Structure 1
Amino acid sequence: TEHFQQVLVSLLLDGNSFTRILRDDQGIAGLVVLNPQRVECSRDRVTRRPIYIFEQRDVIQAEDMIHITELRMPGELRGRSRIDLVKENLGLARALEEFAARFFGQGSSASGIIEFPGNLTREQAKDLVDGFEQGHKGLRRSHRPGILFGGATFNKTTVDNDSAQFLESRRFAVEEIARTFRCPPSMLGVTTPGAMSYASVEQNGIHFVQHTLRPYIAKIEDGYQKILDNRAFLRFNVDGLLRGDQASRYAAFSTGIQAGFLSINDIHRIEDMSPVEGGDSYRVPLANVDINAANLAELDRKSLIAQRLILAGFDPAQVLSALELPAINHTGLPSTQLQPVATVNPADPQAAYEVNSQDRTITIPDLVVRMPDVKVPAPIVNVPETVVNVNLPEKKATVRTVERDAEGRILNIIEREGE
């Protein structure tokens, strides 16, 4: 906003930012950024607390002023500007700019000199120069061969700025200003090799935020904290400026989702995307399930491990203890998979239920069952003959009459009972 823009300009150019707190009966009514060049810093003669004098007449107490300094020496109230500390370098840069303006603006250098062995009048010299310019001046006439008569010669006198290190000095002045304000030279238009510290634009922007903007942001956040209570704080959100390249961002988002501290909608908010339905749930790396069901999924996984260990012959109580599972009531009977039926002794079936029964050798006796011979005579059954009479009604004959047309086609079929 414009308010913090004025604060930042004051810090960069003067090294001090003065924001006056306006109060009324309800509390803070407004904030006004003062011109730092019109504010004097002093101390109260009695309390030795800082006071500020605006325009040599308005005394402002420390509790009504937000004073932010960039560089301040120990024991001093007023901060120092970076411009004051490097004014010699800035003066050199300004002198180079003025020299360049005069050098090229006034046109005090000639491209060359025509030497003539004899004496020429002013009119003859003017005609010689005009004729030479007409033959070679302009884009279309450049690089045309020239001819001089009467022993005249042309000597080139163009100044080589690179040889005089003029351009190099101007470039150094720009880089010195960039170093003063901790700004990457590439952002000031320096195109020399090495001006961009990183291979990508994203990394160069991250470097600018971390090393140039962040120190000023921290000072402003700390200075304005005095007008806020402990329930609120001031923070500039620069997360959008700290976004890396797309591959790095997506790798970080994937890690956040798998670790359970980022949801899909959290990522959408960071990327300025619309939220999706059901995207506020957090997931854990156990099986990428909903975090509210993580305990059930963990219990199910441990139950499968316990089942495999018990089926392998381990003691159930020790298995539960090793997996940190709660003890549960059991009937005491083993599973059929643990103990084959062939190892159960009919004379002592309880012995098969011991834990270490697999270490015992049990001999099963042969069972012999003797069945007595039983003779049962076949019974004699007398069944009388049965006579069945069936009376069927007499069926009458049916007479069918077919009617045809003159061509022999069937027109109608009539059926009737005969006599």
Structure 2
Amino acid sequence: MSIMDRIGAAWRMITRGETAMPDIVRRTARGGDIEPLQLSTVFRGVQVLQTAITGLPLDEYVHGVKTAGAPSPLLDRPDRARSRRDFIADLVASMVMDGNAFIHVQRYKGEVVDARILPPSLVTVTNRGTDIASPRLAYGYAGAIYDATQIVHLKFLNVPGQLRGLGPISAAREEVEGAKMARDYKARFYTDGSNIKGYLKTEQAMTKESADKAKAVWANEDDPMGIRVLGKNLSYVPLELKPADMQFLETQQFDTTQIARLLGIPASIMLAAVEGSNLTYSNIEQSWIEFADYTLAAYTGEIEEAFNQMLPAGHTVRFDWDSSRRADMSSRFSAYRTAIEAGWLTVDEVREREGMQPLKEGHHDA
């Protein structure tokens, strides 16, 4: 397809109000040459985000009051065929890789009874209205068209005028492609015969014919494993690489740092060393707090809003962030003592935070 054909096709999609999938997502969906998760740094980053978010407790509130009993069935198991942990993990992965997550909901008497996550690369988003600032959205999937009451749409990064959100991987595909090309070059370096492993050297002048003859003799294509014989005044100089150069360590470190920055994950969590950094307990703890505030919150906020749309009126959910910021045992217990003495936490409330059963009545001072 020529460049003019591609421009024409894109213009026709824009005039229809349809948003095209990012090229990197489309190629990944059909098993093309870009597979971000095959990069160890991307895989590690997605795994870190999924683990951090799925490990957070999700509390339910009714009219602003935290419920003490069992959660609503939808919150306990949004997709009846899968666990809530898998459900949330899919939402996170969808937003990381594509920037969007789509939940197809099924309702009974006006209430959502089941929710199913759709592969974002296979969902099209169109505007059936005439105003891009107030779109009337329609979602296409597997030959069916759904309206906004049937699809809950999560966006990682909203862009005014765009029907789809942007995700870190799809938005910065050049960095991901560059990291993949560096990895592939490293893999080919030892097997590709076109790479120069050494050269023939002489201090005397050499004609082209002599050089071609020496090269042919050295190549010895009929017997590639045979003995090489050097001509007069020729010496072989191998290209010696340091172990660090042979492993492309600087390139790997640069790519890891770039992707960690792209995903908003501290380098220490990505097991990447940052040159010139001085890691201490205090700044590692601060990096964890910033990771929660500026990275995880971008995902959890969208997930909370999605559950709020699906739950009955008056019901809301919140992730329990205290569990992700657990200090060491001594600091935690000291903080609990202060809270109990100040009167704004009870012993049983502290025990609940630690995952323990409440004390029996009359034993609170034991």
What TM-score does the superposition give when structure 2 sets the normalisation length? 0.60
Q: Point out where structure 1 has 5 or more consecutive residues left out of the alignment.
A: 131-149, 282-288, 290-419
CA contact (8 A) 1:197 1:204 kept: no
User: Residue 263 of structure 2 is aligned with which of 181, 184, 187?
Assistant: 181
Task: Tell me: CA distance 1:72–1:46, structure 2 relative to 1, closer, same or farther (3 Å).
Answer: closer
Secondary structure in structure 1 of the residue aligned to 2:356: coil
8 Å contact from structure 1 (residues 49, 62) kept in 2: no
Q: Which residue of 2 aligns with 1:78?
A: 164
User: Of residues 292, 303, 328 in structure 2, which corresponds to 1:220?
Assistant: 303
One-letter code of the match for 1:81?
G
Q: Decide whether the 8 Å contact of 2:175 with 2:258 is kept in 1.
A: yes
Distance 1:55 1:106 in 2: 43
Q: Provide the C-alpha distance between the structure 2 equivalents of 1:41 and 1:16, rounded to a whole number of angstroms.
A: 11
Give the aligned residue type for 1:32.
R
Q: Distance in 2 between matches of 1:31 and 1:124?
A: 65
Q: State yes or no: 1:14 paired with 2:119.
A: no
Counterpart-to-counterpart distance in 1, 2:225 and 2:127? 74
Q: CA deviation at 1:75?
A: 2.4
Change (3 A) 1:280 1:81: farther
Q: Residue 167 of structure 1 is aligned with which of 249, 254, 264?
A: 249
In structure 2, distance between residues paired with 1:78 and 1:26: 27
Task: Give, in angstroms, the shift of residue 55 of structure 1.
Answer: 2.9
Per the alignment, in what secondary structure is the counterpart of residue 358 of structure 2? Answer: coil
Q: 2:180 aligns with which of 82, 89, 94?
A: 94
Residue 87 of structure 1 and its aligned partner are, at CA, apart by 1.6
Q: 1:205 to 1:272 in 2, by over 3 A?
A: farther
Q: Give the alignment of 1:22-37 within 5 angstroms.
A: 22-25=106-109, 27-37=111-121
Contact 1:265 1:279 in 2 (8 A): no
Render the CA deviation track for 1:144-198: whole Å, top value 9, x for unaligned.
Answer: xxxxxx9996644213476799432331111111111101122223134456855
Q: What are the equivalent positions in structure 2 for 1:227-306 lying under 5 Å apart?
A: 227-278=310-361
In structure 2, C-alpha distance between the alignment counterparts of 1:12 and 1:124, rounded to whole Å: 52
**Counterpart of 1:21 in 2: which secondary structure?**
strand
Match of residue 62, structure 1, among 148, 152, 158: 148
Once residues 309 and 130 of structure 2 are traced to their aligned partners in structure 1, the CA distance between those partners, rounded to angstroms, is 24
CA RMSD of aligned residues (A): 4.0
In the superposition, relative to structure 1, how do residues 128 and 21 fare at CA in structure 2: closer, same or farther (>3 Å)? closer
- Which is helix-richer, 1 or 2? 2
Contact 2:125 2:140 in 1 (8 A): no
CA contact (8 A) 2:99 2:170 kept: no
Contact 1:18 1:35 in 2 (8 A): yes
Identity %: 24
Check 1:45–1:230 CA distance in 2 against 1; reply closer, same or farther (3 A cut).
closer
* CA distance in structure 1 between the aligned counterparts of 2:223 and 2:98, rounded to whole angstroms: 61
Rounded to whole Å, the distance in 1 between the matches of 2:331 and 2:188 is 51
Q: 1:199 aligns with which of 281, 294, 297?
A: 281
The answer as to whether partners of 1:15 and 1:70 remain within 8 angstroms in 2 is: yes
Identify the range of structure 1 (159-168 vs 98-107) with the bigger mean alpha-carbon deviation.
159-168
Q: Give 1:211's aligned residue.
A: 294
SS at match of 1:53: strand
Distance 1:126 1:163, change over 3 A: closer
Instruction: Name the TM-score, length of structure 1 as normaliser.
Output: 0.53
Three-state SS of the structure 2 residue aligned to 1:32 is strand
Structure 2 equivalent of residue 311 of structure 1:
none
Structure 2: gaps (5+ residues): 1-84, 205-213
Rg larger for: 1
Shift of 1:21: 1.3
User: CA separation in 2, counterparts of 1:211 and 1:49?
Assistant: 29
Indicate conservation of the 8 Å contact 2:112/2:311, yes or no. Answer: no
